[in-house]
Amino acid sequence: MAINIKRPNGTEDVLPKDVHKWLTVEKIARETAESFGFSEIRIPTFENTDLFLRSVGETTDVVQKEMYTVMAKETKFTLRPEGTAGTIRAMLQNGLLNEALPQRVFYILSCFRHERPQAGRLREFHQFGLEMAGSPSPCADAEVISLAKTLLDRLGLKNIELYINSIGCPTCRAKYHEALRSYFEERKDELCDTCLSRLEKNPMRILDCKSPVCGEIAKDAPLIIDYLCEECSEHFEKLKNYLTKLGIDYKVNPKIVRGLDYYTKTVFEFVTTEIGAQGTVCGGGRYDGLIEQLGGQHIPALGFAMGIERLLLVMEKQGCDYLTPKKCDIYFATMGDSALEKAMELSRELREYGYFAEYDMMNRGLKAQMKYANKIGAAFTVVLGDNELNEGKAKLKNMESGDEKEILLDNKFTANFDAVYIDRMLESLEDAEAFPAFPMNKESE
């Protein structure tokens, strides 16, 4: 039997040629979150399975169909299907919630869900997400939504719609569940088996069933928004008001219920139609009961998560700019052993000063070395041979302009290179028209 060592279905390799795209998203996400007062948190890749049963909810698709669970000795562990449960667990376990509120953390992590792989839907995918704990106020909802919107804008993304809804609190939910139950009860025979079992325990979950038949039945189901209690309605009205004040366009979509059980009051999604069926790039909301449910005090909280693969699909589609990967500053083409040793010595010193330096390690001829320097986009090259070593000087070539300058191979080499390098930087700055703090969508320029 042939061994299968191929990448598992629904996973991806990120190759060196593409990694700068990921770094762009990660860097801008970090900077944006930090500018809103969030700090990074890192949590384990797997947790006790019970954590997800408790928080995500036993009747959700994630728990019922998508979790990767292993039995290790006597204990059941699950690869995290999302970041909120583990993050709140970590905040509780490490006493963060006893410190000054609101506590604000963000994360960039991998998630695992056993789903049917397709464009924008993977089995291992990555999220940028964040959680804010402590504030019951709708201004916190507006703040978190505004952060998501700022990030999408800074990435240069266009045509992404914000949909908001309120799914109420346990008080309004009780009345709503009754209404839903009696609605679905009438068409019980047509529901799928999973939804049938949800009818008693959690009828709201039927609303996000992916089966077309259940979806069709759910179309005319009662809407939660018509069942909100006074406090929840007022919260929602205030949020809408804040969003308008912040100049953030939104649409109320009473059909959004979100796929995880812990949400209360505000839920929201940022959606695009440009990358096919998997167009939700960000999903989030308030979860005022979760911390208590996990053994903490009653502390209201909220957050969101963005799918990084989906963000990158939209960025690619819309031709967004990425931060440019660092390229070789100086390449030493060498002839002979003594020249190679000199190149090694100079490279070590240059690297100490932060330069990206390279020399030949393949024993290539001079012509092939220059071809290689060109291929990797080296900014400068220096040819070193016996002549250069004897005279103690060499030619430093600017690969873009072709200009050559003599440079001494003495202990001032790095300082001399600095001067030439800075001149080149200044020239290219003069050539560049504008220098935006964040990469912009090309169309907007």
List 331's β-bridge partners, or say none: 358, 381
CB of 313 vs ligand ATP, minimal distance in Å:
10
- 366 touches 379 (CB < 8 A): no
Identity of the residue, 288 or 329, whose beta carbon is nearer to ligand ATP in the bound complex:
288
Identity of the residue, 300 or 307, whose beta carbon is nearer to ligand ATP in the bound complex:
307
User: Which residue is nearest to ligand ATP, using beta carbons?
Assistant: 307
Give the whole-angstrom CA distance, residue 86 versus residue 111.
11
Identity of the residue, 119 or 246, whose beta carbon is nearer to ligand ATP in the bound complex:
119
- Of all helices (H) and strands (E), which one includes residue 19? helix 19-35
Give the whole-angstrom CA distance, residue 155 versus residue 314.
10
- 121 touches 115 (CB < 8 A): yes
According to DSSP, residue 179 is labeled H
CB of 245 vs ligand ATP, minimal distance in Å:
26
Identity of the residue, 301 or 350, whose beta carbon is nearer to ligand ATP in the bound complex:
301
CB of 282 vs ligand ATP, minimal distance in Å:
6
CB of 113 vs ligand ATP, minimal distance in Å:
5
**Structure tokens of 86?**
């583990």
Identity of the residue, 260 or 409, whose beta carbon is nearer to ligand ATP in the bound complex:
260
CB of 268 vs ligand ATP, minimal distance in Å:
10
Closest CA to 42 of 78, 113, 94: 94
CB of 167 vs ligand ATP, minimal distance in Å:
13
CB of 148 vs ligand ATP, minimal distance in Å:
11
Determine how many CB atoms are found less than 10 A away from the CB of residue 439: 17
CB of 88 vs ligand ATP, minimal distance in Å:
15
Identity of the residue, 11 or 171, whose beta carbon is nearer to ligand ATP in the bound complex:
11
Give the whole-angstrom CA distance, residue 81 versus residue 111.
5
**Structure tokens of 32?**
């944006």
Identity of the residue, 24 or 381, whose beta carbon is nearer to ligand ATP in the bound complex:
24
**Residue located via tokens 């690297």:** 351
Closest CA to 161 of 149, 174, 176: 149
Identity of the residue, 134 or 283, whose beta carbon is nearer to ligand ATP in the bound complex:
283
CB of 79 vs ligand ATP, minimal distance in Å:
13
According to DSSP, residue 326 is labeled P
- 109 touches 83 (CB < 8 A): yes
Strands 161-166 and 124-133: unpaired
Identity of the residue, 120 or 300, whose beta carbon is nearer to ligand ATP in the bound complex:
120
Backbone angles phi, psi at 87, to 5 degrees: -65, -45
Helix (H, G, I), strand (E, B), or coil: what is residue 325? coil
Binding residues (CB under 6 A) for ligand ATP: these are 82, 113, 115, 120-122, 125, 127, 259-260, 278, 280-283, 305-307, 309-310
**Structure tokens of 389?**
């070593």
